[in-house]
Amino acid sequence: MAPDQQPGESETLAHDDLREGRAPWIHPDVPRFVAPRESLTCDVAVVGAGITGSLVAEHLSARGLNVVLIDREQASHGSTAASTAMLQWEIDRSLVELTELHGFERAVRAYRLSLAAVAGLRGLINGLGLACAFRPRSTLYLAAGAAGPDDIAAEFALRRRAGLPGRHLDFGALRRSFDIDRAAAILSPGSAEADPMALAGGLTGIAAGRGVRRIAGDARDFDATDRMVHIGLADGHEIEARHAVLATGYVMPDVVSSALHTVTSTFAIATRPQSPARLWRDRVLIWEASQVYHYLRTTADDRIIIGGGDEPYGDQDRRIGEAAGKHAALRAMLSAFWPRAHGDIAFAWSGAFGQTADGLPLIGPVPGRRRILAAYGYGGNGITFSFLASRMIGAMIAGDAAPWHEDFALDRDRPR
Ligand SMILES: Cc1cc2nc3c(=O)[nH]c(=O)nc-3n(C[C@H](O)[C@H](O)[C@H](O)COP(=O)(O)OP(=O)(O)OC[C@H]3O[C@@H](n4cnc5c(N)ncnc54)[C@H](O)[C@@H]3O)c2cc1C
């Protein structure tokens, strides 16, 4: 083992490391969920204990509700364990694209909500004192591929019109400030990074401390009346709740469907720790403006993570088959983009996430079953939108639905 190598890291990018793999996050020491001994009743049953379910459970328990949190596997070992956890307010779709899809007013509203969500997440983490390697970071949005300097300038102009924070950098300014050779960029404050497993585990622990029951179970059947929801677990037990919240990541139960939702496979690698002097200025979060984009961040222990290579999800076998090539391409991309870093790869992994055809998440009541609320399709902004979902769902359960909630409705029309 190399001197700076951690247990579980690989010396080289061997085939075995390229299976589903694992990310460099420390798996939190969270008590396992327990199978129920009897059927249960509660105010809200949250199905799925990834980052979304954890945020929902924490928020609802803070509001004094009696919550049951259910997961069929180990909590926060779904997409959350694979997340590179760049907590960005900039949405996968640029403001220009989102404006074309939804009009300026609605697109700006989504961007502002996202900006407020990252600030809200920061306040929550600080308020609860969660140890999750949370660090405020600026982002650098780079010209790449077909997205050249004119596209960056147009995006910047629209963001300025919307009152969003940021600074335009031309080729010279980008080179002077960051030593990066790209035609242009937008430098924006207000984003952050974290360890997603520590964050989800910490939230679940806080929720448990407030009495949230953590139940191991596979939720199979959902039966909703005007007054209650009955959830049938695979082991035969039943949970009766006033509301159910579906936060099952990229796997949607049959009771919910959306013509907008698609699942994407994505790939990432992390280096062994670098000398801090070899990392870029301010450790900004870096992402590219191109349709098929790459992104980079650093970690609290000085690794570089680079991700991208997204593909439509075929199945897990296909993703595993593609992983070796995708990881090698990411490694080549890293050495071309930031040659002063060493390219010793310690972790290589892949995962799936849900996204939508119109760039906005799906949050709200399941059509025809208003007591079942769902939160899906976040794209690369998963964690930011998970926070937004937890607040929207809290308001909806309290009877405080707002007109703008409709922007995220599950039965909204496909964009033309
Ligand atoms: C490689 C990769 C990189 C990413 N990078 C970023 C990033 O930089 N920034 C960002 O914000 N987002 C990123 N994302 C997206 C983000 O990670 C996801 O949006 C987020 O983790 C989704 O969390 P979740 O809780 O909704 O789903 P999950 O974490 O998948 O959790 C769902 C849980 O539901 C449980 N479950 C499913 N079905 C049932 C059932 N029937 N009964 C009981 N339990 C059930 C599962 O066991 C699982 O634990 C990335 C994703 C991947 C894969």
Task: State the DSSP H helix or E strand holding residue 60, giving kind and residue range, or none if neither.
Answer: helix 51-62
Expressed in angstroms and rounded, the spacing between residue 370 Cα and the centre of ligand 1 is 23
Per-residue pLDDT at 81: 92
pLDDT per position as a tens digit, 2-43: 334 343 343 333 323 333 688 999 877 777 899 999 999 999
User: How far from the centroid of its chain's Cα atoms is residue 167's Cα?
Assistant: 25
Phi-psi region of 322 (alpha: psi -120 to 50; beta: other; left: phi over 0): alpha
Longest distance between any two alpha carbons in the chain, whole Å: 66
Q: What SS3 state is found at 133?
A: coil
Which of 284, 280, 244, 258 lies closest to 378 in space, CA to CA? Answer: 258
Residues 6+ apart with CB under 8 A from 235: 35, 36, 217, 218
- Atom of ligand 1 at shortest range from CA of 219: 42
Extract the runs of DSSP E, i.e. beta strands, from 259-413: 261-271, 285-288, 294-298, 304-312, 345-356, 362-366, 369-376
Q: Which tokens go with 290?
A: 């191109």
Residue ranges lining ligand 1, Cβ < 6 Å: 47-53, 70-73, 77-80, 82-87, 218-219, 247-249, 251, 253, 266, 268, 307, 351-353, 378, 380-384, 386
Expressed in angstroms and rounded, the spacing between residue 176 Cα and the centre of ligand 1 is 38
Expressed in angstroms and rounded, the spacing between residue 300 Cα and the centre of ligand 1 is 22
- Atom of ligand 1 at shortest range from CA of 52: 25
Pairwise CA distance, residues 266 & 41, whole Å: 38
Look-up of token digits 């004192």: 129
Per-residue pLDDT at 14: 34
Per-residue pLDDT at 377: 79
Answer for the pair 84, 51: CB distance below 8 angstroms, yes or no: no
Q: What percent of the chain has pLDDT over 70?
A: 94
Answer for the pair 36, 238: CB distance below 8 angstroms, yes or no: no
What Cα–Cα distance (Å) separates residue 21 from each residue in 5, 268, 332, 348, 413?
A: 17, 10, 19, 6, 37
The residue whose C-alpha atom lies closest to atom 50 belonging to ligand 1 is: 83
Expressed in angstroms and rounded, the spacing between residue 342 Cα and the centre of ligand 1 is 30
Answer for the pair 36, 214: CB distance below 8 angstroms, yes or no: no
Task: State the DSSP H helix or E strand holding residue 337, giving kind and residue range, or none if neither.
Answer: helix 316-337
Pairwise CA distance, residues 203 & 53, whole Å: 10
Pairwise CA distance, residues 103 & 337, whole Å: 35
- Atom of ligand 1 at shortest range from CA of 54: 25
- Atom of ligand 1 at shortest range from CA of 51: 25
pLDDT per position as a tens digit, 201-235: 999 999 999 999 999 999 999 999 999 999 999 99
- The amino acid that residue 262 corresponds to is T
Answer for the pair 207, 69: CB distance below 8 angstroms, yes or no: yes
| Tally of CB atoms within 10 A around 106 | 16
Answer for the pair 53, 245: CB distance below 8 angstroms, yes or no: yes
pLDDT per position as a tens digit, 165-184: 999 999 999 999 999 999 99
The residue whose C-alpha atom lies closest to atom 16 belonging to ligand 1 is: 382
| Residue-averaged pLDDT of the chain | 91
Expressed in angstroms and rounded, the spacing between residue 156 Cα and the centre of ligand 1 is 31
- Atom of ligand 1 at shortest range from CA of 250: 30
Expressed in angstroms and rounded, the spacing between residue 196 Cα and the centre of ligand 1 is 10
Helix 95-102 and helix 149-161: axis angle, to 10°? 70
Q: Is 273 exposed, middle or buried (0-12, 13-18, 19+ CB in 10 A)?
A: buried
The residue whose C-alpha atom lies closest to atom 15 belonging to ligand 1 is: 382
Per-residue pLDDT at 20: 67
Q: What SS3 state is found at 297?
A: strand
- Atom of ligand 1 at shortest range from CA of 382: 19
Q: Which tokens go with 268?
A: 């990432």
Look-up of token digits 């939230």: 203
The residue whose C-alpha atom lies closest to atom 19 belonging to ligand 1 is: 382
Residues 6+ apart with CB under 8 A from 298: 193, 274, 279, 280, 283, 304, 305
Expressed in angstroms and rounded, the spacing between residue 80 Cα and the centre of ligand 1 is 4
Residue 279 has pLDDT above 60, yes or no: yes
pLDDT per position as a tens digit, 123-178: 999 999 999 999 999 999 999 999 999 999 999 999 999 999 999 999 999 999 99
> Which of 239, 250, 383, 390 is the pocket-test mutation for ligand 1 (most atoms within 8 Å of CB)?
383
Q: Of 21-35, 238-252, 402-416, where does mean pLDDT reach its minimum?
A: 21-35
Q: What is the pTM of this model?
A: 0.94
**To the nearest 10°, the Cα dihedral for 198, 213, 389, 371?**
160
Expressed in angstroms and rounded, the spacing between residue 290 Cα and the centre of ligand 1 is 24
- Atom of ligand 1 at shortest range from CA of 375: 26
Per-residue pLDDT at 290: 86
- Atom of ligand 1 at shortest range from CA of 381: 11
What is the DSSP code (8-state) at residue 17? G
